């Protein structure tokens, strides 16, 4: 395994030149011929240059027409997730690309700033500001489940009339992304958000370990099947085989463990990583039409799924019940675990790859895991009765939503920005920097799957209903709180019966939905004894 020495200044210069070229192309300041020449000089791939060329005209078309805002200056603030690279990417592109675009083609000056809050505090920050009818945050990168609460209070703009008036925004998104990031109530045609960043769960594998011949031989001898080496081979791995793989690599004496994933009580961490065990084995969590939870969440199927999920703790390092997003990045890149179930959007971080640099550039040379030693593949499937494999994992990612208390001018700038964001060039640049696009066009672009190491797994998991979102309900926060407590209590042995934890969560959630008049179903008498 080789470790490339990062030459930061060179990389930064190249990134700047790349951005400048894209900017020039977007505003039509460069001819097609020069575009090809400069792109080739920068070492861009043929697909990247072709993408720019193909959509060269579209950018100019979008840019045509005089904005009524011409000559004015606007300060726009985006609220996003602190420490979450995709959020930062959106703001970087707004500042680097949209600001000059707006200046040159729309005739106004716009200055973007970013304010971040951690996942578990993002909604609190947004809600308290929106409750006071403030336009402090003009655009908000919300978590997908918050759309219900934001829409129910009319804190964000409904997008249907905006899309009607701006047909450029009638974009075809991957159906999973549309359902997860745009629609509320579920199943309706009412749109409230634009996908900012798609995300799915992926399996990160220490390929440097897995590819060692001695390991492969030993595993084959011990388990009777070969250690998977490729994306296609991992596609065929079911959860029981994955458990065998994890068991094989669990070697506490070498400070090596088979796997880890999110079991933390914080925010939605354990929920997002326990649900796939339920969804993929036929379990459900509620009926969005009637708001029924009791009897749907607390079932034997889901109890078995919880047991299965918990059984993986034996292959995880000590302290895994506190593992959330950052802990997993740390524990994986420090070489303590052989595999890790984690959000695909964290591909560069999980691979110890320097953000924004050429793929393969090591971010922290002191860490044993390097980009060329990691393989990103689909998470394990669950064997069905008919022998087929099913993967229904939780959808991650975030939409953009527009503050309803913006001034008309601010709303117009936000709409202009959205139009710019979904230009094929912008989406291509977003992808080039590691962001997960959601448009059908971007996902189908030639060479997309090879563009970033995590793109193939991301595309695989976001398509064909392999990922799904949950609870677009205004009561999301309360329901999540009760459930996180219940799930955390079970994995930490505070309660040992999974059905007890499920019943507590189901009864509490049923009461919440009944109290908020989102459901007419009252908790049953059996709930009187439900406790943790």
Partner 1 sequence: MAQLETQLDGVGSAPAGLPPAETLAPPRLRGGLRALDDSRFFPIFLLTPILIFFLVWNVIPLLWLLGLSFYRYKLTSSRAEKYVGFENFRDIYESSALWGTLGRTLTFMVTTVGLATVLGVGLGLLFWGSTRMPGRRLALTMLFTPMVLPPIAVGTFYRLIYDPTFGVANYYADRIFGRTFDFLGDKDLAFPAVIAVDVWMWTPFMILMTLAALGSVPKAELEAAEVDRLPWSKRLRYIVLPHGKFILMLGILLRTIDAFKTTDLVYLMTNGGPGKQTETVGLNLYRTGFEAFQMGDASSLAVVTLLIAVAFTSIYLYVLNFRESRAQAQTGAGA
Residue 344 in contact with residue 205, Cβ under 8 Å? no
Pairing outcome for strands 194-197 and 201-206: unpaired
Q: For residue 173, which of 183, 158, 164, 165 has the smallest C-alpha distance? A: 183
Distance of closest approach, residue 261 Cβ to partner 1, in angstroms: 14
Among 415, 413, 414, 445, which Cα is nearest to 429's? 445
Give least dist CB 83 to partner 1, A.
14
Structure tokens at 153: 């209070």
The distance of closest approach from Cβ of residue 125 to partner 1 in the complex, given in angstroms and rounded to an integer, is 10
Nearer to partner 1, 106 or 340 (CB): 340
Residue nearer to partner 1 on the CB measure, 207 or 321: 321
For the CB of residue 282, give the shortest distance to partner 1 in the complex, in Å.
27
Report DSSP state, residue 266.
Answer: S
For 378-398, letters b (16+ CB in 10 Å) and e give: bbbbbbeeeeebbbbbbbbbb
Residue 299 or 321 with smaller CB distance to partner 1: 321
Q: Which is nearer to partner 1, 166 or 322 (CB)?
A: 322
Nearest to partner 1 of 105, 488 (CB atom): 488
Residue (of 419, 342, 443) closest to 169 by Cα position: 419
Q: Which is nearer to partner 1, 157 or 331 (CB)?
A: 331
**Choice between 257 and 458, CB closer to partner 1:** 257
Host H or E run for residue 375:
strand 374-377
Q: Residues 258, 263, 267, 272: is their CA dihedral positive or negative? A: positive
Cβ of residue 170: shortest distance to partner 1, in angstroms?
Answer: 27
3-state helix, strand, coil in the chain (%, to 5): 50, 15, 35
DSSP string, 45-114: -HHHHHHHHHTHHHHHHHH-S--TTTT-EEEEEEEEETT-HHHHHHHHHIIIIIHHHIIIII--EEEEEE
CB of 328 to partner 1, least distance (A): 12
The CB-of-244 to partner 1 minimum distance in angstroms stands at: 24
Q: Pick from 304, 486, 321, 315: which is nearest to 382 by CA?
A: 304
Sign of CA dihedral 165, 167, 173, 176: positive
Kindly state the tokens that stand for 409.
């001018």
Question: In a 3-state reduction of DSSP, which class is residue 206?
Answer: strand
Query: Which residue number, 129 or 344, has a Cβ lying nearer to partner 1?
Result: 129
Give least dist CB 481 to partner 1, A: 5
Query: Whole-angstrom Cα distance, residue 301 to residue 351?
Result: 35
Closer to partner 1 by Cβ: residue 14 or 516: 516
Nearer to partner 1, 138 or 488 (CB): 488
Give the nearest distance from C-beta 126 to partner 1 in angstroms.
11
| The pair of three-digit structure tokens given for residue 357, joined into one six-digit string | 């640099």
CB closer to partner 1, 109 vs 321: 321
Tell the smallest beta-carbon distance from residue 183 to partner 1 (Å): 17
Contact residues toward partner 1 (CB under 8 A) are 120, 124, 127, 131, 149, 152-154, 264-266, 317-322, 331, 334, 336, 474-478, 481, 485, 488-489, 491-495, 515-517, 531-532
d(CA 170, CA 168): 5
Distance in Å, CB of 26 to partner 1, minimum: 39
> Residue for token digits 């919440």?
512
CB 398 within 8 A of CB 413: no
Q: Name which of 296 and 532 has its Cβ closer to partner 1.
A: 532
Structural contact between residues 469 and 496, judged by C-beta atoms closer than 8 angstroms: no
d(CA 283, CA 392): 10
Task: Round to whole Å and give the CA distance between 26 and 62.
Answer: 10
Q: Smallest gap, in angstroms, from Cβ of residue 192 to partner 1?
A: 13
> Quick check: bond before 185 cis, omega within 30?
yes
Nearer to partner 1, 326 or 446 (CB): 326
Q: Angle between the 269-279 and 476-491 helix axes, to the nearest 10 degrees? A: 80
Q: Closest distance between partner 1 and the C-beta of residue 98, in Å? A: 31
The three state secondary structure string of 309-325 is HHHHHHHCCCCHHHCCH
């Amino acid at each position: 395994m080789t470790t490339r020495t990062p030459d930061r200044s060179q990389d930064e210069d190249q990134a700047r030149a790349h951005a400048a070229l894209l900017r020039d192309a977007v505003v039509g300041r460069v001819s097609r011929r020069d575009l090809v020449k400069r792109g080739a000089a920068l070492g861009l791939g043929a697909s990247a240059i072709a993408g720019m060329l193909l959509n060269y005209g579209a950018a100019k078309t979008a840019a045509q027409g005089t904005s009524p805002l011409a000559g004015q200056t606007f300060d726009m603030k985006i609220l996003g997730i602190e420490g979450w690279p995709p959020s930062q990417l959106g703001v970087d592109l707004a500042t680097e690309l949209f600001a000059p675009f707006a200046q040159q083609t729309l005739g106004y000056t716009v200055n973007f700033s970013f304010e971040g809050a951690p996942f578990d505090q993002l909604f609190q920050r947004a809600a308290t500001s929106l409750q006071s009818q403030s336009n402090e945050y003009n655009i908000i990168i919300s978590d997908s489940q918050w759309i219900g609460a934001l829409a129910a209070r009319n804190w964000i703009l409904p997008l249907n009339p905006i899309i009607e008036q701006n047909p450029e925004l009638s974009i075809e998104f991957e159906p999973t992304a549309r359902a997860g990031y745009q629609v509320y109530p579920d199943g309706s045609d009412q749109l409230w958000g634009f996908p900012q960043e798609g995300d799915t769960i992926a399996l990160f594998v220490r390929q440097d370990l897995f590819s060692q011949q001695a390991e492969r031989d030993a595993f084959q001898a011990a388990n009777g099947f070969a250690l998977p080496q490729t994306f296609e081979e991992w596609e065929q791995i079911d959860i029981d085989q994955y458990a065998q793989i994890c068991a094989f690599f669990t070697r506490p004496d070498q400070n090596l463990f088979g796997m880890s994933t999110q079991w933390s009580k914080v925010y939605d961490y354990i929920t997002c990583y326990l649900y796939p065990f339920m969804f993929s084995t036929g379990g459900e969590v509620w009926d969005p039409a009637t708001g029924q939870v009791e009897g749907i969440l607390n079932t034997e199927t889901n109890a078995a799924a919880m047991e299965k999920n918990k059984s993986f703790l034996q292959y995880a390092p000590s302290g895994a019940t506190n593992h959330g997003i950052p802990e997993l990045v740390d524990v994986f890149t420090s070489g303590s675990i052989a595999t890790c179930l984690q959000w695909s959007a964290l591909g560069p971080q999980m691979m110890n790859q320097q953000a924004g640099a050429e793929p393969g550039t090591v971010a922290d040379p002191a860490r044993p895991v390097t980009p060329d030693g990691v393989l990103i593949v689909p998470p394990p499937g669950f064997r069905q009765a008919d022998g087929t494999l099913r993967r229904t994992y939780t959808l991650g990612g975030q939409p953009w939503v527009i503050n309803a208390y913006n001034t008309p001018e601010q709303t117009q700038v936000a709409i202009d920005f959205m139009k710019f964001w979904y230009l094929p060039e912008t989406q291509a640049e977003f992808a080039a920097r590691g962001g997960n696009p959601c448009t059908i066009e971007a996902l189908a672009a030639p060479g997309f799957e090879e563009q970033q190491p995590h793109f193939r797994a991301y595309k695989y998991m976001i398509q064909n209903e392999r990922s799904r979102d949950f609870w677009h309900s205004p009561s999301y926060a309360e329901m999540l709180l009760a459930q996180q407590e219940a799930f955390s209590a079970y994995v930490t042995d505070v309660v040992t019966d999974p059905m007890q934890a499920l019943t507590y969560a189901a009864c509490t959630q049923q009461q919440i939905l009944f109290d908020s008049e989102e459901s007419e179903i009252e908790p049953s008498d059996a709930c009187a004894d439900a406790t943790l």
